[in-house]
Structures are given as structure tokens and as C-alpha cells.
Amino acid sequence: MNYENLHEFIGGVYHQDWSLDFPDQESAIRYFLSTSDSEFIQRVLLEIDELLREQRSEKRLKKTVQRDFSGNIVPQKTPQRWHDWLVWLREEIKASSADANP
């Protein structure tokens, strides 16, 4: 899978200057949701799920997010930093999307 939608999302939202545009990651996600159609959001969520199902190593997930998707993000240190961040990202998109469309 080429993860075209996830690449567009991560590279577009978490670009090199994202922290100048948004005070935090949650604000970046809310902006993404406010400027994207529901079909694109659903494709991003499906691609996050697919990427997680692949069970890539942490090293490979880091490469995928930072190099392949051009994401300028460094998640908090946890034993599974990149996996945990992708799970958090998926859940944050879902929660923010539900809040935006009650």
C-alpha cells in the first residue's frame, strides 16, 4: 500500500513549520478536519489502521513518518514511540471529528 492519503495528511499538517502555525498537535488536527472532506478523513483513518496492521518496527515507522511522509514530528518517548503516536493520532482524529459533527 502506498498510503497516499496519510502521506498527504502528515506531510501537509506536520510540515517543517507546523509548530509555527499551530500551538499543539490537537490544533493541527482540528484544522485538518475543518479543511478536509469526510471521505478524505476516512481514507486517512483506514491508512493509519493498515499501517499499524503491518506491525512495522519502530525504526521503520519512524522512517515512514519522517522521511517517506515528510512529517516533522517527534513523539513523546515511550517503548513503542511511533506505534503509540499513530494510535494516538487515529484516536485524536476520531474524537475531534465526532466533536465537530455531533
- The residue extents of the domains of the chain are 4-100
State the Cα–Cα distance between residues 59 and 101, nearest whole angstrom.
36
8 Å CB contact between 75 and 84: yes
* Amino acid sitting at position 91: E
- Tell me if 51 sits within 8 A of 86, measured CB to CB: yes
Share of the chain above pLDDT 70, in %: 96
pLDDT computed for residue 2 by the predictor: 87
- Supply the pLDDT for residue 93: 92
- Say yes or no to pLDDT of 56 above 70: yes
Cβ neighbors of 75 (< 8 A, separation 6 or more) are 81, 82, 84, 85, 88
* Of 99 and 90, the one with more pLDDT: 90
State residue 47's pLDDT score.
Answer: 96
- What band does 100 get if pLDDT is binned at 50, 70 and 90? low
CA distance 82 to 88: 10
